[in-house]
Structure 1
Amino acid sequence: MFAVIQTGGKQYTVAAGDVVTIEKLALEAGATVSFDNVLLLSKGAAGVEVGAPVVAGATVAGEVVEQTRGKKVIAFKKRRRQNSKRKRGHRQELTVVRITDILVGGKALPRPVKAEKAPKAAAPAAAE
């Protein structure tokens, strides 16, 4: 099961247990967050529900892991033969969020069960 959410002007594909880095939210680490702009919802074998523009009654719940900053970006502009240049730096403020549940109508979607691998059979004993 997965969902496509929109936050900070960007879209993210998320599933339960994922850790995503999004635009800064004004929340402390450990706080819970709810994303209501669910654009698409995949229910596994039950099919896919596409919103117009959002899926009604669907929310994605998460927990803020930490507040961080992105990689430094340098904007350097030079005008040749003009003795003119400009250097500016920028670091984007980011929030790391762990997705806990995908909720539809207040109920969590069932998580897929991973099939366990069967133990390998022992090699037959050599006949004498």
Structure 2
Amino acid sequence: MAHWPGNIDAAARVADKLVDNAFQHAEPFGPGEGWVELRLTVLPKTDALLIEVDDATPEFADFEKATTAEPSNPPPGLWWVRHYQGTLSWDPKTDATTGDVVGKTVTAFLPTTWSPA
């Protein structure tokens, strides 16, 4: 992310919110406190930033509601993706060996340019 030409503060905030949501509203992988996986990728053709977070809960209850919520005080975590003109999606995460669903991947795409509304 350090070499991404976009708004680093926006990217850090969105990554933080996605990881926080995974721990607050989903199950982490592993025993005890567990873990979630965070991946950051700069897409070569567009320079958009792909932020992915994996957790062990295979569904995303109320995805539409969570992603369209209006800001409050404080704003809901996923609202920040929309604020920074990004897009949010999710897909089931499958085991590469067995094909079994083992969780989900929540994905945010952030453009390199952002202009506050």
**TM-score interval for Structure 1 and Structure 2 normalised by the shorter chain:** 0.3 to 0.5
- Between structures 1 and 2, the one with greater strand share: 1
- Normalised to the residue count of structure 1, the TM-score between the two structures is 0.31
Over alpha carbons, which structure has the higher Rg?
1
- Normalised to the residue count of structure 2, the TM-score between the two structures is 0.33
